[in-house]
Amino acid sequence: MKPVPDAKPRPLEVALLASVFVVAACGLIYELAAGAVASYLLGDSILQFSTVIGAYLFAMGLGSYFSRFFERQLPAHFLRIELLVALFGGGLPALLFLANGYLPGAFRFLLYAMVLIVGILVGLEIPLVMRILRRNVAFKDLVSQVLTFDYLGALAVSVAFPLLLVPQLGLIRTGLLFGLMNAAVALWALWLFRFELRRFKAHAAACALTLLALGAAFSAADHITTLAEDKFYQDRVVFTSDSQYQRIVVTQGKAGHRLFLNGNLQFAERDEYRYHEALVHPAMAAHGAVKRVAVLGGGDGMAVREVLKYPGVESVTLVELDPAMTRLFSQQPALVALNGGALNSPKVKIVNTDAFKWLEQGSDVFDIIIVDFPDPTNFSIGKLYSNSFYGLLDQRLSASGYAVIQTTSPLVARQSFWTVVQTIESTGLQTAPYHAHVPSFGEWGYVIASRRPWRQPTALPPGLRFLDLKSLPLLFDFPLDMARVLAEVNRLSNQVLVTTYEAEWGRVSHP
């Protein structure tokens, strides 16, 4: 009788299958990191992730094809490829951030060059592992086992990347950590195949140098980040955070503190009072008897600061998706000073959730709702400028209430501005569009939405630095180059605003 093969897995087989798990995890991390960096720095997260993933998968296909040309010394080839993946993949976020600071014109080329290089190398890994395992494992078992471990590794990091790795380590350290894991797989392969490898000492030296380089970069990750971002933002970076939603950067320079989300300026200390006074007071002062206020977005607390200038306000609900933002602006002393400690007021309730869901699931109504979202640079933000969103907003507004929405520049993005106005009006709400000059942004637009006409207030809170009753009506006058144009309604099904916005802002440098 033919002997029954031992069903117990051999140590070599277990080691290689464990390597498949690590390799799959690392490969997906590099893909996600490239997409995240691209969306941070280029905007439009859906477009960036789609093109990066497409290029990466194409490159992996090329790598799989090229693996057929590796015929001898497969363990040696696998080891070298692991070291190259460790260096190129692990260093990808750091190199891209540095390129954005020092070679901004070459960033897009370098992004896709790195994606193609890493993708080809990752595409080579699994076929080589399968050919090495084929020596000891039946083909039907080989395919199922390798693919199982491959998919398990991908599942693990797809969950850990946004929820744990990026918030805790940041993109640069996350990339370098998984680069070290790839290098560890190479070191493991060095030990497993030590009797097969030619030039063992050279391979050992390569492993040691790769681990040393990645380890040094990991320990210097903060310095690398500062080096890249100080150059990009011009001013000294005093705080950075990679939350699961965005890249938060606070700088300090001659203009004071500035806040950037995903590379886009949100406020500058020297003139933010213009933006926030214009956002809050035309609606608040016109109402006359505000008790309950909701602020959607605005996690920096500046809008809340202006709201609290009305003594009659009894409660303010701040709905901010990113807890990292509200934590930062309620705990960092320099930033707490900017918003006057508004987020720590007993009148303020902070809710960290998606504003769309909050409107859908709640039933409370408010006298004033202030909508202070970032501009619609991608489809996830664009939904917050849709007619579906404004319909929900209408349901949460009291009969005499006002909502006010920040609405990009009517000068630079004229079509986009009037698209928002048209979208609000499509829900049956009346609108009162207006604009104000904020030096850091240029001419900036807002829209008051309500069921009753907006009326000129008779009083404003004391101590304002920008608005007064005499100049307030001028904000509602639009010169010819900002006058209303025909525009479509921004719906969830078409998201026309996002493409219009990108086309208009693409002609100029975004603030």
For 468-494, the pLDDT digits (tens) are 999 999 999 999 999 999 999 999 888
Question: What sign does the dihedral 209-189-82-214 (CA atoms) show?
Answer: negative
Taking residues 41-50, report their average pLDDT.
Answer: 75
Poorest-confidence range of 35-49, 104-118, 150-164?
A: 35-49
Between CA 272 and CA 365 the distance in angstroms is 29
Tokens of 267: 């406020």
Angstrom distances, CA of residue 192 to CA of 13, 165, 357: 10, 30, 52
Which CATH number describes the domain made up of 268-505?
A: 3.40.50.150
User: In the predicted model, what is the mean pLDDT of residues 229-242?
Assistant: 80
DSSP string, 58-101: HHHHHHHHHGGG--S-HHHHHHHHHHHHHHHHHTHHHHHHHHHH
- Residues 238 and 251 sit within 8 Å (Cβ to Cβ): yes
- The proportion of the chain whose per-residue pLDDT surpasses 70, expressed as a percent, equals 93
Q: For position 137, what pLDDT does the model report?
A: 56
Query: What's the confidence (pLDDT) of residue 321?
Result: 92
Check: CB of residue 437 under 8 Å from CB of residue 425: no
CATH 1.20.1250 matches 11-229: yes
Q: Give residue 5's pLDDT.
A: 47
Could you tell me the sign of the dihedral formed by the alpha carbons of 222, 225, 231, 236, in that order? negative
Distance in angstroms between the alpha carbons of the first and the last residue of the chain: 79
- Pull the structure tokens for residue 144: 């199922």
Q: What is the pLDDT of residues 362-414, one digit of tens each?
A: 889 999 999 999 898 888 889 999 999 999 999 999 999 999 999 999 999 99
Between 198 and 478, the higher pLDDT residue:
478
Check: CB of residue 356 under 8 Å from CB of residue 332. Answer: no
Query: Domain locations in the chain?
Result: 11-229, 232-266, 268-505
What's the pLDDT tens digit per position in 86-102?
A: 999 999 999 998 888 78
- In this predicted model, what pLDDT tens digit does every residue of 304-351 receive, in sequence order? 999 999 999 999 999 999 999 999 999 999 899 999 999 999 999 999
CA gap 126, 265 in Å, rounded: 43
Whether the per-residue pLDDT at 230 is higher than 80: the answer is: no
Tokens 């993933």 -> residue:
53
Phi, psi for residue 369 in degrees, rounded to 5:
-120, 120
Which residue bears the tokens 């202030």?
370
Catalytic site positions: 372
Cα 38 to Cα 46: distance, rounded to the nearest angstrom? 10
CA–CA distance, 394 with 434 (Å, rounded to integer): 20
Beta bridge partners of 450: 402, 430
Tell me the per-residue pLDDT of 432-444, one tens digit each, with 9 for 90 and over: 999 999 998 899 9
* Residue where the block lists tokens 């039946």: 138
Beta-strand ranges (E) seen in 321-396 are 348-351, 366-372
Coil/strand/helix, residue 370: strand
Candidates 363, 276, 349; CA nearest to 315 is 349
pTM score of the predicted model = 0.75
Structure-token match 């309950």, residue found: 292
DSSP letter at 510 equals: -
CA-CA distance, 341 to 223, in Å (whole number)?
31
Q: What is the DSSP string of 431-488?
A: EEEEEEEETTTEEEEEEEEESS-----S---TT-SS--TTTGGGGG---GGGS-----
Q: Which CATH number is 232-266 given?
A: 2.30.140.10
List the one residue out of 354, 407, 359, 358 whose CA is nearest residue 380: 354
Does residue 165 have a pLDDT over 90? no
Flag whether pLDDT at 509 surpasses 80: no
pLDDT in tens, 125-157: 888 888 877 765 555 565 677 777 777 888 888
